[in-house]
A and B are shown apart, each in its own frame.
Chain A
Amino acid sequence: MSTKEQKERIELLQGTLDLLILRTLQLGPLHGHAIAKAIEFRSDDVLQVEQGSLYPALHRLIKRGWISVEEGTSENNRRAKFYRLTAKGRRQLAVETSKWDTLAAAIARILRPGEQESES
């Protein structure tokens, strides 16, 4: 099977998918498949997104008003739904990003105490 060919992949932490979608949409409106591809591509295929789980997440974000949806035409001339970051979503992204940074830094401090001390 193809798993062998693929690089080692990491399961996504719960909730981080939302953050990744928001970040991806910051670059411009995309349709569902494109979002999945973009996340895989930008993480050098390290992050394994089960593509289906994208859809509950997208719907969740729409419900919260962080992204909006509009009809458009995909690159191969098919009608598709394009998802666009809203102003509210942009603010949320900033909040989530700084939260993530704090979390990552904290985890890093615990995992590599020496390096952290030398840094500070």
Chain B
Amino acid sequence: MRLCKRMLEDLEQDLRDHLEMETQDNIDRGMSPQEARSAALRKFGNVARVKEETRAVWSVVWLEQLLQDVRYGARMLLRSPGLTVAVVLALALGIGMNAAVFTFVNALLLRPPQGVATTNKLVEVFLHDPKGSGVQSYLPFNYPDYAYYRDHSKSLEGLMAFDGDGQEAIWNQAGTGEIVHGQLVSGNLFSLAGVNAVVGRTLSVDDDRINNPRQVAVLSYPFWRQKLGGDPGIVGKTLMLDGAEFSVVGVAPAGFTGLMVGAAPDFWAPLTTQGRFTHEDQNRLTNRHSYWLIVAGKMRRSGDRKSVQAELQVLAKQVYVAQKSADDFQDARVYPLTLVPGPFRGYVGAFTGGLLAVFVIVLLIACTNAASLLLARATGRTREMATRSALGAGRGRLMRQMLVESLMLAGIAGTAGMAIAWTTARLLLELKPADIPITLAIPMDWRVVLFTVAVSLATGVLFGLAPALRASAVEAARVLKEESQSGDRKKARIRNALVVVQMAMCVVLLAGAALCVRSLINANAIDAGFDTHHIALARLDPGNLKYTPEKVNEFYARLLERVERLPGVISASYAEFLPLGTSRSEMSAGKQLGKDPSAIRVGVYRVEPGFFRTMGISLLRGRDLTQKEADSDKPDAVVINETLARSLWPGKNPVGEKIALGGEKEMSQVVGVVKNGKYRSLGEGPLPVVFRGTIPAARTLVVRTAGDSRTLLGEVSREVPIVDPLMVATGVQTIEEYMALPLFPARTVGWLLGVSGILAVVMTTIGLFGVIAYMVSQRTHEIGVRMALGARRVDVLKMVMSQGLRMTAIGLGIGLCAAFGAARLLSPLLYGIGANDPATMTSVAIGLGAIALTACYLPARKAMSVDPSVALRYE
């Protein structure tokens, strides 16, 4: 405002000139110079006031008043530092936990993957079975469909694809092998996603020609730095990957880990080189039934998701008509591109939404705490408010003063909350099982900041509103006249209600937390059906080395022989994969070949002899598979579990019976029955399962030891290259580490609810204590009178305690009702415990009651020791 500045700078001179002119006029009228001057001044009025009023014209009044309020508020907050710290700490924890969860929501569901430019124009496309429902009805793309969409879509600038599972490859270097992770991507992916190489170039469409694929690779930044020492001349050098030479064309930027959560590839190679990596499925590029591609598109500048969806639906119909096959029609669905693939967004959203709900309750408890503490202080400030109002401050001004103070508190808490969120988010990542190769970046971008600011503001208004309304409603005359500060009845009612609400919310959280923690203890003790101790595991995949089946078998036989001879080893065996992992295989099983309506779906595990003994799975009837049966191409013999035995041959001994497995031409003989176990998740009911031979080349080695399985890990890894120098064992871990994955959901939820429960208890205790202590201090006078009139100390104690306990009881009652309702939402996560477990609920109620009793007793004891003579003199 230059005009303003100029006008105010000249003001002094203008006023002087004015006065001089007036004086001159008066002299002209015949006054003496002195008289003329004083007359001019009189006529002009108060010069200082004029200056001030003139300045006020230009100043933004509300801003100045706001600054005043802030200065005043800061003084008030500093005057009671204990209260300020308590409120800020409680709020900071509440806000921080919410912001931490939101950081994950943001990273997974809201923001586009890191390192990707042209963000809001990217979409993800999935095939969808219109008849299906849930996640199962969505499919990744097959290559022919992808190529058709890519070549025919007009609303998209381009359609890119990458292989959703990732590829493991053995990187051979100077006589040793190392497992590296690769991702196959379409040639246009880097340019469409706007990702530029930091060294060399990224992949191009020319690298990815289906009839002439180039064996080139782009390296990830961490791989280049850590494994290749950041070699600046890396471009043009070759890497031996799965026995094929790939020449390095460039290095991707540091933050880029691809377009999907869970993958952190070491290198990217063209899609069309897939034959170099996957040996089982050489015709993936032409096979319509191999669904392996995650497809993403970049919309044209003018495009939106709706028009893309409409166009892709048309393309889906064209594909269907052109194919003339008997397959079902497959629709295409469009989602915004985020780290979590579209169809799974609902699940992740529900999970994180649930967590947010929990922490919103924690925040609400913190809010009620802050509100009741401020209310208590507001009573102490009644006189201050009355004085200010008597001096002419409007109601709005008083209210604003109080709101400014609470917003200042919330602002400080929000800033601290950001720091808490930052650390908490990183701690939460630590809960992730080590063997999930997920590197998740959780950046604090503007969305997180915006969320935190919004939450802080809302919090400030929420807990500040009640005290502000009460404070501004003072009747100045009445308050100033009355000498004693009799506690306002209405105010006390609000505070009591807040304590009750707090107690109720605390019960809900604590009940949830207790259920989860108990269920976690149960889950750790749950019988997985196999031994969860003294077992070491290692993944092996010689398929990459293109060995013949005989050579593969020879390798495994020699490795087993060596491992079994290690000190402490009791037994060892192989399985395709273990139960409760990420892999699963199913087929139908019945009592007759061909179409059998009575056939049921069973889980299938391919194992070698000795598996049951090594894993500690008890054999109930019959015998284990023999080596000959296991090596046979046909499943001559199988072992089944109890559940399958009971459903196919109820009440009979199934050993010796014939079973028909889906896709097989001959019946198999049941040679043994093993005890039930858990296969998909720890919470599941009994499932039917078949164990058979015909194990593929990629296997898990299981080793049972008498001692600590951890000491065995190094030895097992060392044995592998001794048998075959080109082989590497991956995923070498103890069974305890392996079990971290199935326990993960319960563990995370248990941790988070446990933390939130403890926070809730602490805050509620402080709240209750504060209110009772305040009540006692307000009633010191009354208590003194009572005691002077002959009330015994016990009566005083009873009076104070009964008030606190009444609030506690009401809160507990409401809370328990709510907890019974809320616990139902938790039931899918609970193991071996009912959602309405009476023991848990009772102990929560008793525990909280005991804490409340203590919180009331301390101030009550103080009340008891009131000296009547002192109290009567008190004000």
Q: Is the pairing of A and B real?
A: yes
Contact A51 B17 (CB under 8 A): no
Looking across the interface, which residue of chain B has its beta carbon closest to that of A61? Answer: B57
Closest CB in chain B relative to A5 CB, distance in Å: 11
B326 — which chain A residues lie within 8 A by C-beta? Answer: none
Query: For chain A residues 50-66, which have a beta carbon within 8 Å of chain B?
Result: 50-53, 55-56, 59-60, 62-63
Indicate with 1 or 0, residue by residue over B1-39, a CB within 8 angstroms of chain A CB atoms. 001100100110011011001101100000000000001
B81 contacts partner chain A, Cβ-Cβ < 8 Å:
no
Query: For chain A residues 97-117, which have a beta carbon within 8 Å of chain B?
Result: none
Closest CB in chain B relative to A39 CB, distance in Å: 12
Contact A50 B45 (CB under 8 A): yes
Contact A50 B11 (CB under 8 A): no
A20 contacts partner chain B, Cβ-Cβ < 8 Å:
no
- Comparing B46-54, B85-93, B507-515, B837-845, the segment that makes contact with chain A is B46-54
* CA A27 to CA B4, docked complex, whole Å: 26
B50 — which chain A residues lie within 8 A by C-beta? Answer: 52-53, 55-56
* CA A56 to CA B393, docked complex, whole Å: 24
Closest CB in chain B relative to A89 CB, distance in Å: 15
Closest CB in chain A relative to B59 CB, distance in Å: 11
* CA A78 to CA B21, docked complex, whole Å: 10
A33 — which chain B residues lie within 8 A by C-beta? Answer: 17-18, 21-22
B478 contacts partner chain A, Cβ-Cβ < 8 Å:
no
B39 — which chain A residues lie within 8 A by C-beta? Answer: 2
A56 — which chain B residues lie within 8 A by C-beta? Answer: 50, 53-54, 56-57
Which of B15, B22, B57 has the most chain A CB atoms closer than 10 A to its own CB?
A: B57
B47 — which chain A residues lie within 8 A by C-beta? Answer: 52
Indicate with 1 or 0, residue by residue over A73-105, a CB within 8 angstroms of chain B CB atoms. 010101011000000000000000000000000
B58 contacts partner chain A, Cβ-Cβ < 8 Å:
yes
Contact A51 B45 (CB under 8 A): yes
Contact B3 A62 (CB under 8 A): yes
Looking across the interface, which residue of chain B has its beta carbon closest to that of A74? Answer: B21
Closest CB in chain B relative to A33 CB, distance in Å: 4
Closest CB in chain A relative to B20 CB, distance in Å: 8
B44 contacts partner chain A, Cβ-Cβ < 8 Å:
yes
B21 — which chain A residues lie within 8 A by C-beta? Answer: 33, 74, 76
For the complex, count residues of A whose C-beta is within 8 A of B: 21
* CA A21 to CA B46, docked complex, whole Å: 20
B24 — which chain A residues lie within 8 A by C-beta? Answer: 76
Given A33-B17, A81-B10, A81-B14, A59:B54 Cβ within 8 A: yes
A72 contacts partner chain B, Cβ-Cβ < 8 Å:
no
* CA A30 to CA B21, docked complex, whole Å: 14
Partner of B58, one of A37, A63, A69: A63
Closest CB in chain B relative to A74 CB, distance in Å: 7
Looking across the interface, which residue of chain A has its beta carbon closest to that of B50? Answer: A52
Closest CB in chain A relative to B259 CB, distance in Å: 55
* CA A74 to CA B24, docked complex, whole Å: 13
A37 — which chain B residues lie within 8 A by C-beta? Answer: 25
Given A56-B50, A59-B57, A76-B24, A50:B14 Cβ within 8 A: no
Which of A59, A78, A81 has the most chain B CB atoms closer than 10 A to its own CB?
A: A59
Which of B10, B11, B18 has the most chain A CB atoms closer than 10 A to its own CB?
A: B18
A80 — which chain B residues lie within 8 A by C-beta? Answer: 14, 17
* CA A60 to CA B58, docked complex, whole Å: 8
B481 contacts partner chain A, Cβ-Cβ < 8 Å:
no
Contact A69 B7 (CB under 8 A): yes
Partner of B57, one of A32, A36, A52, A60: A60
* CA A81 to CA B21, docked complex, whole Å: 13
B43 contacts partner chain A, Cβ-Cβ < 8 Å:
yes
Contact A55 B11 (CB under 8 A): yes
Closest CB in chain A relative to B124 CB, distance in Å: 54
A78 — which chain B residues lie within 8 A by C-beta? Answer: 17
Indicate with 1 or 0, residue by residue over B47-71, a CB within 8 angstroms of chain A CB atoms. 1011001101110000000000000
Contact A51 B43 (CB under 8 A): yes
Query: For chain B residues 345-384, which have a beta carbon within 8 Å of chain A?
Result: none
B45 — which chain A residues lie within 8 A by C-beta? Answer: 50-53
Contact A52 B46 (CB under 8 A): yes
Closest CB in chain A relative to B25 CB, distance in Å: 8
Which of A52, A59, A81 has the most chain B CB atoms closer than 10 A to its own CB?
A: A52
* CA A74 to CA B54, docked complex, whole Å: 23
A60 — which chain B residues lie within 8 A by C-beta? Answer: 57
A52 — which chain B residues lie within 8 A by C-beta? Answer: 15, 44-47, 49-50
Indicate with 1 or 0, residue by residue over B526-537, a CB within 8 angstroms of chain A CB atoms. 000000000000
Looking across the interface, which residue of chain B has its beta carbon closest to that of A59? Answer: B57
Contact B3 A32 (CB under 8 A): no
Contact A62 B7 (CB under 8 A): yes
A59 — which chain B residues lie within 8 A by C-beta? Answer: 7, 54, 57-58
* CA A78 to CA B24, docked complex, whole Å: 13
Given A51-B22, A78-B17, A80-B17, A63:B46 Cβ within 8 A: no
Closest CB in chain A relative to B266 CB, distance in Å: 66
Contact B57 A50 (CB under 8 A): no
Which of B10, B22, B47, B53 has the most chain A CB atoms closer than 10 A to its own CB?
A: B53
A50 — which chain B residues lie within 8 A by C-beta? Answer: 43-45
Closest CB in chain B relative to A10 CB, distance in Å: 15
Which of A2, A33, A80 has the most chain B CB atoms closer than 10 A to its own CB?
A: A33
B4 — which chain A residues lie within 8 A by C-beta? Answer: 63
Looking across the interface, which residue of chain B has its beta carbon closest to that of A69? Answer: B7
* CA A74 to CA B10, docked complex, whole Å: 16
Given A52-B44, A56-B50, A32:B22 Cβ within 8 A: no
B22 — which chain A residues lie within 8 A by C-beta? Answer: 33, 36, 51
* CA A5 to CA B372, docked complex, whole Å: 67
A69 — which chain B residues lie within 8 A by C-beta? Answer: 7
Closest CB in chain B relative to A31 CB, distance in Å: 8
* CA A33 to CA B43, docked complex, whole Å: 12
B3 — which chain A residues lie within 8 A by C-beta? Answer: 62
* CA A59 to CA B43, docked complex, whole Å: 20
Looking across the interface, which residue of chain A has its beta carbon closest to that of B56? Answer: A56
Looking across the interface, which residue of chain A has its beta carbon closest to that of B49? Answer: A52
Looking across the interface, which residue of chain B has its beta carbon closest to that of A48? Answer: B43
Looking across the interface, which residue of chain B has its beta carbon closest to that of A37? Answer: B25
Pick 5 A–B contacts, CB within 8 A, sort by A.
A32-B17, A36-B18, A52-B45, A52-B49, A81-B10
| Chain B residues within 8 Å of A, Cβ to Cβ | 3-4, 7, 10-11, 14-15, 17-18, 21-22, 24-25, 39, 43-47, 49-50, 53-54, 56-58
Q: Give 9 A-B pairs besides A51-B18, A52-B47 with Cβ atoms closer than 8 angstroms.
A: A2-B39, A32-B18, A52-B15, A52-B45, A53-B45, A55-B15, A55-B54, A56-B57, A81-B14
